Structure 1
């Protein structure tokens, strides 16, 4: 294994993490911004108000994008196993 192979694997690993976690992070960020806007408009400054909508949104996104996330991780695992099989 040379530096190019290692760099390629690290790049693919980072891309896999970003694509697998992207939908969940985007949903949490979107819900957080909407709740913060509602809190700013209504002047309700309750800290715990943001947790329940975020948790519900995250669970829904994980339920809907679970196959996509699994496919991304499976593709990464297959690439790693193929590289191990061929000896890099």
Structure 2
């Protein structure tokens, strides 16, 4: 495997990882921001107030985007990694 193929495969893998993690991370950021703003406005400093809604939002977004994540990863493995492994 030459260096160009290695770095191109690594670049594609990092881009796929970014695409797959973006929905969950963006929802966690938005929910955390909204809850933090709510806590600052009401002076409620309860730790479970941040944890439970964020966890529920992350699980629901994961459930909704699970098909997209699976299809993206399977496509990457079938079109990029398997030919490289099978080719030598």
Structure 2 residue runs of 5 or longer lacking an equivalent are: none
Displacement of 1:48 in angstroms is 2.2
Give the corresponding residue for 1:18: 18
CA RMSD of aligned residues (A): 0.9
Give the corresponding residue for 1:5: 5
Give the corresponding residue for 2:56: 56
Displacement of 1:86 in angstroms is 2.6
Give the corresponding residue for 2:39: 39
TM-score by length of 2: 0.93
TM-score by length of 1: 0.93
Displacement of 1:74 in angstroms is 0.6
Displacement of 1:47 in angstroms is 2.0
Structure 1 residue runs of 5 or longer lacking an equivalent are: none
User: Runs of 4+ in structure 1 displaced over 3 angstroms?
Assistant: none
Number of equivalent positions:
87
